[in-house]
Amino acid sequence: RAHRRGEFHLPESDARSLMETALAEYRRLRGEAPREVFVHGRVRLWDEEWAGFRSAAGAETAVTGVTIRESWGTKLFREGDMVPMRGLAVVSSDRDALLWSRGYVPYLDTYAGRELPNPFDVSVTRGEVDIETVLADVLSLTKLNYNACIHADGEPVTLKFANAVGEILTAAPRTSQPPLPFKYYI
């Protein structure tokens, strides 16, 4: 369901169904349930969504809700000619941090961008997990794109692919069999 402009939320039953499907596939491939699942989004999970995800996961799988948004209000400068290093994080609390997923890469001795990079505002909005663990996971997901020859383009693949699927579903011609609502990919 669309709420505020650009914000989509799942009813509890749909959140439960989505998580059950993902966990069933994981169990089929691995033979056991995952210890933890991270739900990434650009908006905070609502109570009914969270209830659906949690009920599907059961006691054996910890579920954590993480909000990841690009922050335009914070700029960081460093001495010299280079921008801040990729992977730099400023932790403001045990649940919130800014993460620069674009920036100077010492191994390459360069920064691939043209402007000062913006950080992501990363927040643990549901569940209990160390913010450092979340930051490491989000940063690693900015490098994981096997469908393009782009090194560390900055956006976590979880959000990048959700955007791509959403664009395809909204641009596709209508047929007698409607596609899954794109809210499932957000």
Domain range enclosing 78: 12-185
Residue 6 lies in a domain: no
Output the DSSP codes for 128-157: ---HHHHHHHHHHHTT--TTS--S--SS-H
Question: How does pLDDT run across 19-54, given as a tens digit for each residue?
Answer: 999 999 999 999 999 999 999 988 889 999 999 999
Residue 74 lies in a domain: yes
| Centroid of chain to Cα 136 | 12
Residue 1 lies in a domain: no
Residue 89 lies in a domain: yes
The pLDDT score that the predictor gives to residue 150 is 63
How many domains does one find in the chain? 1
Write down the pTM of the prediction.
Answer: 0.81
CATH of the domain at 169: 3.30.420.10
Residue 85 lies in a domain: yes
Q: Token digits for 165?
A: 């699927």
The pLDDT score that the predictor gives to residue 178 is 57
Residue 17 lies in a domain: yes
Q: Token digits for 74?
A: 């914070």
Q: How confident is the model at residue 168 (pLDDT cuts 50, 70, 90)?
A: low
d(CA 136, CA 158): 14
Residue 50 lies in a domain: yes
Residue 5 lies in a domain: no
